[in-house]
Amino acid sequence: MLTKIVSGGQTGVDRGALDAALELDFDCGGWCPLGRRAEDGPIAVRYPLTESESPRYEPRTEQNIVDSDATLIITGGRLEGGTRLTLELALQQNKPCLVIDLRQPLEFDQIKNWLTALNISILNIAGPRESKQPGIAEKTQKLVVELLTLTTHSLTTGASPTF
């Protein structure tokens, strides 16, 4: 059963995932670079993140993968830069990774079944920063709110809500 969302705090997908968890009072956290570094300045303290020992993004990306059961990558385009690194590191760590491309029709059952089949408790959510894919934070927040609502609702009632 999903119990925690982990992300790195960068603008875009990371913040969208954390905002969704905070909106629903769902447990969240993760690692961020030293100094709470992000493209828009220091990450706000409202995000419950632990600073890594490095100001670089790669160490926090890897630590979030290590500390999670699996990684969900949300994108609206090709995997580039840190998003591609996330996939590569997840594969190197032998951690399950699911890539959702928002340009394709979204199947919540696919994500829910993946979470259930792998008994994922701690889920790392990653993807492009806002400057690379404008609007991705809002889309991610909506997706993760719906996903958390769907998984917690179906776990407590055995039914799927209508979207």
Is 163 contained in some domain?
A: no
Is 162 contained in some domain?
A: no
Is 72 contained in some domain?
A: yes
What pLDDT does residue 69 have? 98
What pLDDT does residue 106 have? 85
Q: Which of 31-45, 124-138, 145-159 has the lowest mean pLDDT?
A: 145-159
Average pLDDT over residues 85-111: 95
Question: What DSSP assignment string belongs to 7-62?
Answer: ----TTHHHHHHHHHHHTT--EE-EE-GGG--TTSSPPTTS--EE-S-SSHHHHHH
Is 14 contained in some domain?
A: yes
Whole-prediction pTM value?
A: 0.92
- Per-residue pLDDT of 51-70, as tens digits, reads 999 999 999 999 999 999 99
Q: Is the pLDDT of residue 123 over 80?
A: yes
Number of domains in the chain: 1
Is 95 contained in some domain?
A: yes
Is 13 contained in some domain?
A: yes
Provide the CATH number for the domain around residue 38: 3.40.50.450
Structural domain range at position 67: 4-157
What pLDDT does residue 91 have? 97
Is 110 contained in some domain?
A: yes
Q: Is the pLDDT of residue 18 over 50?
A: yes
Cα torsion for 75, 47, 28, 157, to the nearest 10°? Answer: -80
Residue % of the chain over a pLDDT of 90: 88
Q: Tokens 């179906």 identify what position? A: 154
Is 117 contained in some domain?
A: yes
